[in-house]
């Protein structure tokens, strides 16, 4: 779906502009058309996160709830149920390290420890330059290549701590690998 590829700075929570409202209206209507009159909340939330810098500002959720015909509280309940969605400001790239069982036993703790060291943050924190947010995740669905992580939409598996500097550097430089 082509909407607007220009993302906003992470955490923007200003009142909605007319441009925001037009964007949200078009996003919901496009989603409704693509799903033959139904709506995919998750697709809408992913589009919103992409547009608003990896987070879902409260004013945006309020307006989207109105457009969806639901209450802000119900929409907030949907958002907070899924750990990949966030109402808190996040960095340009979100690093999700799987810490579920199979990844745990194949080395996730050493991956987490190395990421903390390289990024200088704890889980749930964002680097001071706003580049990366580090998060723990439940199973990413790629257990066959554990330990694994995702950065934005890119998956990485069979990881060792030695792989991580190269992966982070490529992301900083704008690449996927
Ligand atoms: S347990 Fe880590 S990807 Fe499934």
Distance 108 CA to ligand 1 centre (A): 10
Phi, psi of 125 (to 5 degrees): -105, 165
Q: Is 140 in the pocket of ligand 1 (CB under 6 A)?
A: yes
Of the candidates 62, 66, 31, 67, the one whose C-alpha atom is nearest the C-alpha of residue 46 is 31
* Euclidean distance between CA atoms 174 and 164, whole angstroms: 15
Which pLDDT value is given to residue 25? 97
Phi, psi of 87 (to 5 degrees): -95, -5
Cα dihedral 40, 68, 57, 24, rounded to 10, equals 90
Q: Is 146 in the pocket of ligand 1 (CB under 6 A)?
A: yes
Distance 46 CA to ligand 1 centre (A): 21
Distance 110 CA to ligand 1 centre (A): 15
* Euclidean distance between CA atoms 53 and 7, whole angstroms: 6
| Assigned token pair, 171 | 């992301």
Positive/negative CA dihedral, 34, 36, 37, 43: negative
Q: Consult the annotation and say whether 157 binds a ligand.
A: no
| Nearest atom (ligand 1) to Cα of 147 | 2
* Euclidean distance between CA atoms 105 and 148, whole angstroms: 12
Which pLDDT value is given to residue 84? 86
Q: Consult the annotation and say whether 40 binds a ligand.
A: no
* Residue 116 burial by Cβ neighbours in a 10 Å radius (0-12, 13-18, 19+): middle
Alpha helices in 37-84 (DSSP H): 41-51, 58-68, 72-81
Are 123 and 116 contacting, i.e. CB atoms less than 8 angstroms apart? Answer: yes
Q: Is 103 in the pocket of ligand 1 (CB under 6 A)?
A: yes
Distinct helix (H) and strand (E) counts, the chain: 7, 4
Q: Give me the residue spans of the domains in the chain.
A: 18-81, 93-172
Which pLDDT value is given to residue 15? 81
Residue 126 per-residue DSSP state: B
Compute mean pLDDT per 10 residues along the chain, 177 residues long, and list them: 40 75 97 94 94 93 95 93 90 96 97 98 96 96 97 96 97 77
* Whole-structure pTM value: 0.81
Fold type of domain 93-172: Glutaredoxin (3.40.30)
């Amino acid at each position: 779906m082509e909407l607007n590829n220009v993302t906003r700075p992470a955490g923007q929570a200003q009142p909605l502009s007319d441009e925001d409202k037009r964007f949200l209206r078009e996003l919901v209507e496009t989603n409704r058309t693509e799903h033959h009159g139904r709506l995919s909340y998750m697709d809408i939330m992913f589009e919103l996160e992409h547009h608003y810098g990896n987070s879902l500002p409260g004013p945006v959720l309020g307006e989207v709830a109105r457009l969806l015909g639901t209450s802000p509280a119900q929409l907030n309940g949907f958002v907070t149920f899924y750990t990949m969605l966030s109402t808190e400001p996040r960095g340009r790239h979100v690093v999700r390290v799987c810490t579920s069982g199979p990844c745990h036993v194949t080395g996730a703790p050493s991956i987490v420890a190395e990421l903390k060291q390289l990024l200088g943050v704890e889980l749930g924190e964002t680097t001071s330059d706003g580049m990366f947010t580090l998060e723990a995740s439940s199973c990413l669905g790629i257990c066959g290549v554990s330990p694994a992580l995702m950065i934005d939409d890119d998956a990485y598996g069979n990881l060792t701590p030695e792989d991580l500097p190269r992966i982070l550097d490529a992301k900083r430089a704008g690449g996927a690998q």
